[in-house]
């Protein structure tokens, strides 16, 4: 038998003796304290789960206690999935009824392009002097500084990466025949918002002085319409006889009356001869630019020539080289609602019909039927969520109070279970058609769980939809009564938190008692060690004396 330091003098295992004596005094009682703490921790955890379930159920109750839930509207659109032409969102101000909606025209932005022959390579220099281009579309505008020697490719990147860019995308298109076209597309929609590119660089004479535009020139520029395809090219075209119907609005691409040409849409003839004339005119524009620049250089006005060279990328001015192709003008969206034509500068019509936001997705060949009615599906979904949350809560309460469960016998849980059943079975709302939620297709089984019958619910909706709201929502509705009940259990002052606080205090008290007992056991062990140390010392002395006597006696 090994002997610890405590029994070194006497040769006895006093160390083990002390530990066994302390263990006999300590272990049983410490285990009782620990079991008590474990029970408190289990109870606290169970109360936490119950509290979370109550909070979750209360959220569904509050969702049910919403008057807007029963006044919401639903839009049913007669369209094929994957081929949608309309998207409609509603609010509770929308009127129930049917609408016939046509999408006659979609809103779109605009595109401008350079005339043929102006450019042949991305490395073409667009300006030999520091200059500035301004891009405008409707109320949107931004400018970029064009440094001397900037190439067409560099200008494209500069436009596309500008921080102030409101939605202009520049690109270069090569036709494979030695012609490079510069294009710019604007995302700004709506008639009258076609993209304009302006060379806003001041024009200098040979002495470096700014050449001011005459008032006539400025007026002429302002009067030029955005939709004109090539400015001043078709100035001598014959007048068009106005045979349009008053219903046809300028800028439309649909003949709503089907009785003749659409105003302003025939200003540009799209037959082959006209296209050829446009190409020739565009080439003449380039020749005019080149010849004018050559004359300027011969006259010694090199600065003026350098300035006008940037006009090849402008849509305005005597030397402009950009134009809007046919059909690429910005245009409004147009819909017809019950025979009334409505236009808007975007595809979303927020004010066309009260309570509806209509988004046009694609043009239609025939009217699309739209039915607006009460949003019964959302009401049903909310009630089903309420039932599922109720069952989760009741199931947890039953599990927590089963025989042997940690909350078995808990009065708070029993009271909550009883109160929930009472509220469900009570009359609410003072309606003449329904007395309780069980009239809406809700049933309760023998275990206290709720079930939902959609057929009974649909029948109730048909019998008296307007009386469902006061039964469920409002000051006298079921949801408000349940919310008041649950408020006693939730929140910082609710019974659930109060009970958890009580358990925490019990834990703290038990831990304090255990700690104090452990301190007493340490003192008890120290006392034993002191006593056995003294005993060990005396036994060591006695052993020494016995050994001396034995040696003396053996020598006699």
Distances (CA, A) of 337 to 78, 108, 131, 271, 369: 15, 20, 49, 34, 10
Do the Cβ atoms of 224 and 235 come closer than 8 Å?
no
**pLDDT higher than threshold 50 for residue 209:** yes
Adjacency order of strands within the sheet including 196-199: 140-146, 131-137, 196-199
**Which residue reads 């009630």 in tokens?**
383
pLDDT tens-digit readout, 268-292: 343 444 344 444 444 444 454 444 4
If you count them, how many residues does the chain have? 556
How many Å from the N-terminal Cα to the C-terminal Cα in the chain? Answer: 35
Please tell me the distance from the alpha carbon of residue 543 to that of residue 237, in angstroms, as a whole number. 140
Please tell me the distance from the alpha carbon of residue 431 to that of residue 469, in angstroms, as a whole number. 10
Residue-level pLDDT at 540: 76
Please tell me the distance from the alpha carbon of residue 350 to that of residue 327, in angstroms, as a whole number. 26
Please compute the mean of the pLDDT values over residues 160-173 and round it to a whole number: 96
Distances (CA, A) of 391 to 53, 340, 425, 442, 451: 10, 51, 16, 12, 9
pLDDT tens-digit readout, 380-412: 999 999 999 999 999 999 988 888 888 888 888
Residue 260, both tokens: 């003749």
Please compute the mean of the pLDDT values over residues 60-87 and round it to a whole number: 91
Burial class of residue 412, CB neighbours in 10 A (0-12, 13-18, 19+)? middle
Mean pLDDT of the chain: 81
**pLDDT higher than threshold 90 for residue 158:** yes
Residue-level pLDDT at 56: 92
Ranking 60-74, 305-319, 412-426 by mean pLDDT, the lowest is 305-319
Cα 259 → chain centroid: 47
Do the Cβ atoms of 181 and 116 come closer than 8 Å?
yes
**pLDDT higher than threshold 80 for residue 167:** yes
Q: Which residues of 430-445 are buried (b: 16+ CB within 10 A; e: fewer)?
A: ebeebebbebbbbebe
pLDDT band at 476 (very low <50, low <70, confident <90, very high): confident
Residue-level pLDDT at 60: 93
Residue-level pLDDT at 243: 42
Please tell me the distance from the alpha carbon of residue 343 to that of residue 352, in angstroms, as a whole number. 9
Cα 392 → chain centroid: 30
Please tell me the distance from the alpha carbon of residue 469 to that of residue 242, in angstroms, as a whole number. 58
Please compute the mean of the pLDDT values over residues 255-262 and round it to a whole number: 45
Burial class of residue 305, CB neighbours in 10 A (0-12, 13-18, 19+)? buried
Ranking 51-55, 100-104, 474-478, 543-547 by mean pLDDT, the lowest is 543-547
Please tell me the distance from the alpha carbon of residue 275 to that of residue 116, in angstroms, as a whole number. 12
Please tell me the distance from the alpha carbon of residue 365 to that of residue 445, in angstroms, as a whole number. 54
Ranking 130-144, 153-167, 270-284, 412-426 by mean pLDDT, the lowest is 270-284
**pLDDT higher than threshold 90 for residue 80:** yes
Q: Which residues contact 189 (CB under 8 A, 6 or more apart)?
A: 107, 108, 109, 330, 331, 332, 333, 345, 346, 347
Residue whose C-alpha is closest to residue 169's, from 126, 124, 240, 110 = 110
**pLDDT higher than threshold 60 for residue 76:** yes
Residue-level pLDDT at 406: 85
**pLDDT higher than threshold 80 for residue 231:** no
Please tell me the distance from the alpha carbon of residue 129 to that of residue 458, in angstroms, as a whole number. 76
Question: Using H for helix, E for strand and C for coil, what is the string for 15-68?
Answer: HHHHHHHHHHHHHHHHHHHHHHHHHHHHHHHHHHHHHHHHHHHHHHHHHHCCHH
DSSP string, 403-433: TT-TTTT-HHHHHHHHHHHHHHHS--TT-SS
**pLDDT higher than threshold 70 for residue 261:** no
Please tell me the distance from the alpha carbon of residue 199 to that of residue 19, in angstroms, as a whole number. 100
pLDDT tens-digit readout, 7-37: 666 667 778 888 888 888 888 899 999 999 9
Outline where DSSP puts E strands in 378-517.
442-444, 450-452
Question: Where is pLDDT greater, at 415 or 307?
Answer: 415
Q: Which residues contact 286 (CB under 8 A, 6 or more apart)?
A: 115, 116, 117, 118, 312, 321
Do the Cβ atoms of 313 and 265 come closer than 8 Å?
no
**pLDDT higher than threshold 50 for residue 264:** no
Please tell me the distance from the alpha carbon of residue 66 to that of residue 122, in angstroms, as a whole number. 63
**pLDDT higher than threshold 70 for residue 220:** no
**pLDDT higher than threshold 90 for residue 469:** no
Do the Cβ atoms of 200 and 183 come closer than 8 Å?
no
Do the Cβ atoms of 330 and 137 come closer than 8 Å?
yes
**pLDDT higher than threshold 90 for residue 115:** yes
Domain boundaries along the sequence of the chain: 5-25+506-554, 27-70+377-500, 73-107+333-374, 110-323
Please tell me the distance from the alpha carbon of residue 316 to that of residue 323, in angstroms, as a whole number. 9
Number of separate helices (H) and strands (E) present in the chain: 11, 19
Please tell me the distance from the alpha carbon of residue 296 to that of residue 304, in angstroms, as a whole number. 7
Do the Cβ atoms of 386 and 62 come closer than 8 Å?
no
pTM of the model as a whole: 0.60
pLDDT tens-digit readout, 175-195: 998 899 999 999 999 999 999
**pLDDT higher than threshold 90 for residue 461:** no
Cα 397 → chain centroid: 37
Distances (CA, A) of 61 to 97, 111, 313, 425, 483: 31, 54, 64, 16, 6
Please tell me the distance from the alpha carbon of residue 318 to that of residue 217, in angstroms, as a whole number. 9
pLDDT tens-digit readout, 440-454: 999 999 888 999 999
pLDDT tens-digit readout, 328-378: 999 999 999 999 999 999 999 999 999 999 999 999 999 999 999 888 888
**pLDDT higher than threshold 70 for residue 1:** no
């Amino acid at each position: 038998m090994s002997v610890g330091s405590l029994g070194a003098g006497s040769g006895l295992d006093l160390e083990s003796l002390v530990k066994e004596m302390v263990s006999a005094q300590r272990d049983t009682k410490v285990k009782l304290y620990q079991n008590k703490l474990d029970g408190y921790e289990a109870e606290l955890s169970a109360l936490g789960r119950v509290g979370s379930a109550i909070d979750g159920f209360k959220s569904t109750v509050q969702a049910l206690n919403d008057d807007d839930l029963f006044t919401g509207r639903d839009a049913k659109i007669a369209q094929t999935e994957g081929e949608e032409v309309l998207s409609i969102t509603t609010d509770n101000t929308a009127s129930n009824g049917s609408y016939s909606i046509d999408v006659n025209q979609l809103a779109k932005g605009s595109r401008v392009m350079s005339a043929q022959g102006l450019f042949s390579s991305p490395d073409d220099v667009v300006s030999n002097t520091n200059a500035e281009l301004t891009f405008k579309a409707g109320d949107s505008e931004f400018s970029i500084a064009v440094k001397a020697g900037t190439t067409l490719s560099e200008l494209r990147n500069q436009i596309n990466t500008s921080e102030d860019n409101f939605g202009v995308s520049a690109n270069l298109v090569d036709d494979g025949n030695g012609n490079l076209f510069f294009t710019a597309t604007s995302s700004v929609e709506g008639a009258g918002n076609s993209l304009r590119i302006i060379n806003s660089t001041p024009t200098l004479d040979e002495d470096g002085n700014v050449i001011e535009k005459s008032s006539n020139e400025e007026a002429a520029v302002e009067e030029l319409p955005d939709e004109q395809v090539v400015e001043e090219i078709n100035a001598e075209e014959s007048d068009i006889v106005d045979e349009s119907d008053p219903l046809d609005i300028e800028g439309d691409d649909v003949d709503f009356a089907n009785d003749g040409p659409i105003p302003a849409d025939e200003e540009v003839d799209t037959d082959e001869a006209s296209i050829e004339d446009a190409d020739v005119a565009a080439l003449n524009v380039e020749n005019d630019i080149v010849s004018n620049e050559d004359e300027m250089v011969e006259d010694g006005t090199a600065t003026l020539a350098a300035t006008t060279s940037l006009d090849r990328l402008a849509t305005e001015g005597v030397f402009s080289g950009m134009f809007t192709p046919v059909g690429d003008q910005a245009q409004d969206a147009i819909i017809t609602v019950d025979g009334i034509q409505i236009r808007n500068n975007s595809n979303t019509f927020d004010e066309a019909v009260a309570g509806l936001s209509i988004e046009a997705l694609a043009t239609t060949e025939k009217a699309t039927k739209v039915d607006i009615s009460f949003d019964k599906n959302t009401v049903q979904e909310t009630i089903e969520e309420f039932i599922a949350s109720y069952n989760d809560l009741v199931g947890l309460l039953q599990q927590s109070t089963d025989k042997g469960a940690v909350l078995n016998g808990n009065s708070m849980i029993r009271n909550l279970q009883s109160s929930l059943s009472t509220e469900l079975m009570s009359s609410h709302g003072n309606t003449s058609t329904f007395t309780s939620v069980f009239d809406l297709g809700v049933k309760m089984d023998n275990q206290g769980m709720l079930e939902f019958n959609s057929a009974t619910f649909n029948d109730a909706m048909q019998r008296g939809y307007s009386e469902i709201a006061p039964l469920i929502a409002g000051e006298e509705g079921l949801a408000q009564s349940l919310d008041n009940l649950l408020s006693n259990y939730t929140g910082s002052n609710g019974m659930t938190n109060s009970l958890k606080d009580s358990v925490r205090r019990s834990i703290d008290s038990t831990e304090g008692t255990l700690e104090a007992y452990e301190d007493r056991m340490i003192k008890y062990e120290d006392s034993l060690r002191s006593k056995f140390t003294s005993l060990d010392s005396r036994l060591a002395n006695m052993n020494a004396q016995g050994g001396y006597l034995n040696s003396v006696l053996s020598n006699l």
